[in-house]
A and B are shown apart, each in its own frame.
Chain A
Amino acid sequence: MFNAVYRSIGGVGRRVREGVWTLGYAARFFVAVLLRSGDLLRRPGLVLRELYYVGVLSVIIILVSSLFVGMVLGLQGYETLKIYGSDSALGVLVALSLTRELGPVVAALLFASRAGTAITAEVGLMKTTEQLSAMEMMAVDPVARVVAPRFWAGVISMPLLAAMFSAAGIFGGYLVGVVLIGLDDGTFWSQMQAAVEWHHDVLNGIIKSAVFGVAVSVIALFEGFDAQPTAEGVALATTRTVVVSSLAILGLDFVLTAFMFKG
Chain B
Amino acid sequence: MVTDGNNLSDEYLVEIEGLHFAYGGRVVLKGINLRARRGQVVAIMGASGGGKTTLLRLIGGQLKPTAGRVRVAGKLVNELKRRDLYRLRRRMGMLFQFGALFTDMSVFDNVAFQLREHTDLPADMIRDLVLMKLNAVGLRGAAHLMPAELSGGMARRAALARAIALDPELMMYDEPFTGLDPISLGVAGNLIRKLTDTLGMTSLVVTHDVKESFAICDYVYIMANGVIAAEGRPEDIDKSDLPFVRQFVRGEIDGPVPFHLPAPDYAQALGLEQPHV
**Number of B residues, CB within 8 Å of A:** 23
Contact across chains for A129 and B98 when beta carbons are under 8 A apart: yes
Contact across chains for B89 and A138 when beta carbons are under 8 A apart: yes
Question: Which A115-146 residues have a C-beta within 8 angstroms of B?
Answer: 129-131, 133-134, 136-141, 145
Contact across chains for A139 and B103 when beta carbons are under 8 A apart: no
Nearest-CB distance from B265 to chain A (Å)? 28
Nearest-CB distance from A118 to chain B (Å)? 12
Q: Do A137 and B98 contact each other (CB < 8 Å), given the known contacts A129-B103, A131-B103?
A: no
**In the bound complex, CA of A51 to CA of B92 (Å):** 33
A-B contact count (CB 8 A): 47
**In the bound complex, CA of A140 to CA of B102 (Å):** 13
Residues of A contacting B98 with CB < 8 Å?
A: 129-130
Contact across chains for A134 and B86 when beta carbons are under 8 A apart: no
Contact across chains for A138 and B96 when beta carbons are under 8 A apart: no
Contact across chains for A137 and B86 when beta carbons are under 8 A apart: no
Question: Which B166-214 residues have a C-beta within 8 angstroms of A?
Answer: none
Contact across chains for B94 and A134 when beta carbons are under 8 A apart: yes
**In the bound complex, CA of A136 to CA of B61 (Å):** 10
**In the bound complex, CA of A138 to CA of B114 (Å):** 7
Contact across chains for A137 and B103 when beta carbons are under 8 A apart: no
Contact across chains for A134 and B96 when beta carbons are under 8 A apart: yes
Q: Do A139 and B86 contact each other (CB < 8 Å), given the known contacts A129-B100, A130-B100?
A: yes
Contact across chains for B117 and A130 when beta carbons are under 8 A apart: no
Report if B3 contacts A (CB, 8 A). no
Contact across chains for B87 and A139 when beta carbons are under 8 A apart: yes
Question: Which B66-108 residues have a C-beta within 8 angstroms of A?
Answer: 86-87, 89-90, 92-94, 96-98, 100-103
Report if B12 contacts A (CB, 8 A). no
Residues of A within 8 A of B (CB): 129-131, 133-134, 136-141, 145
13 A–B contacts, CB within 8 A, in A order: A129-B100, A130-B96, A130-B97, A130-B98, A130-B100, A131-B102, A134-B100, A134-B102, A136-B62, A137-B94, A138-B163, A139-B118, A141-B86
Closest 7 CB pairs of A and B: A134-B100, A139-B89, A130-B100, A137-B94, A139-B86, A139-B90, A130-B96
